[in-house]
Structure 1
Amino acid sequence: MRQIRLGGTEVSCIGVGAMSFSDFYGPTTEENSFAILDAARELGVSHVDTSNVYGMGRSETAIGQYLRDRPGARDAFHVATKAGITRDADGNRAFDNSPAHLEAELDGSLSRMGIECVDLFYVHRRDAAVPIEEVAGTLGRLVEAGKCRSVGFSEIAPASLRRAHAVHPVAAVQSEYSLATRAPELGLVQACAELGTALVAFSPVFRSMLTDTPVTPERLGALSFLSGNPRFQEPNYSANRQQVERFRALAAGMGVPTAALAIAWLLHRGAHVLPIPGTRSVAHFRELVAGTEIRLTQDDMARIEEVLPVGWAHGDRYSDAQWIGPERFS
């Protein structure tokens, strides 16, 4: 398994997106999450990426139980979690980057996972009312306190990364990045490479669209996030399904799973890019990891760009409500 630099250590070039350890994309069980982690250890996948809000602590609790049940497993994984998303007095989504909130939430994460320190702690969403330099300082103090080894941010712009990094090294920035979402190439991929920051790519297979088993219209109704997402609403959903068929045919012609080809393309975009696909299926997880073994030629990349050119995806990647929090940039 190829390794990449993340903070002060080396991790596998693909990770486990542990949002799937909650019911976000459909019902799951703790045993199913354990099976994914067992497969990760078998395949040499060392990075596990979770958050305090995934299932309101359920994902972290599953990881913690796994680590308790399997002595020695902690040494096999580079564990990352996040905080910063909360609720206001009226129950509406809000963001809190204050020192007290971030430390308290990190303490809760450590307790749920039964560990003394996480390898990477991200701010899940920026609170625009707090200068990012102050937040970076807060994160640096958490490193000094021994509660995390490195720090990162999720869904921030390149300019914000540079400002934060000037105060404390930013080990990772998490952003949606895939053949369907190319916005990180407008400066974030480049800024991360320049600063030695890993770009952790979530939703690398376009929430199942870039696989051999894309989400069906029947399932969409039960998935609140996707059913409210413009790219999965008609007529965009059908248009995206039709466009991806060309990519699926290309993968079949190359003799590889569609998901593996999508991962291979992403890894080809930079040695610092770390995709973190989530899945509830061990078989699908193996397909995703198989993408790390595919070496694409320039001709392969050109053929991929021909069937899925920049800007091909129909619909915005978020609805107006879903866009609250992530930083837009161009």
Structure 2
Amino acid sequence: MSDFRLKVFQSVAKNLSFTKASQELFVSQPAITRHIQELETCYQTRLFDRQGGRISLTDAGRLLLQHSDKILDDYKQLEYEMHLLHDEYIGELKLGASTTIAQYVLPPLLAKFIAGYPKVNLSLLNGNSREIEMALQEHRIDLGLVEGILRLPNLKYTTFLEDELVAVVDARHKFCTADEILPEMLPDIPLVLRERGSGTLDVFERALSQHNLKLSSMQVLMYLGSTESIKLFLEHTNCMGIVSIRSVRQELMTGRLRVVDIKGMPMQRQFNFVQLQGQAGGLSQAFMRFAGHHSKDL
């Protein structure tokens, strides 16, 4: 059985869609169907239940998925180690990064990595921190980069960079003219925040709790799925946003946004690599070493 046929099955099983698997693997949908049919013939059992336009895994499909995840990980490690004998870095590395990291930290690092390791097939999945952790557990990515404070026990977290959240307002609007406010003033201020599952919101909630404040007591006008959306929202609304300082450097330099200090309420956080427990070596470790070496430039 070829590793590609297992990749086809894995993609269909993860997406529960022949169409999405076709798009993900850049293979025609008839070819995807043929590979699944050949697997079902090989094992003389159905791997998927088909009901109308939907599919679901059978017991045999769930068993094959469990083993295919491990087999494909082993294939990837084998390819990496065999080429490493000749001092070559060759293989596939699937990264996943939370939104802030993907937008404001990774692009220059990825460009340098591709230049240094041209034979590595690199891809990036973008989502919030919880989505990236889920993708890692489902073996859809090899290495994640997430923000926030929550930790899952079956995952290993390694600090990558330090970051800070700040409260910002549009400098052109006559809103919150003070340069500093007290934490207890926050419930009276309209806010725009990142969505549930984002590391940014996790950190803000923790900072509130340290002052006996709850998110439910805040005037949240909107929860938005990206920092760019929050910045654009601020341009048209008299409210305050909570974002990474890295995401507003340009706007602060040009005077479009202004930081409002919340006295005695620091919002420090870490950007972390996240891996499955027990996962070691391979291109993931090579990328982590490379990122650590270049972290001062980010």
Q: Normalised by the size of structure 1, how large is the TM-score?
A: 0.29
Larger strand fraction of residues: 2
Q: Normalised by the size of structure 2, how large is the TM-score?
A: 0.31
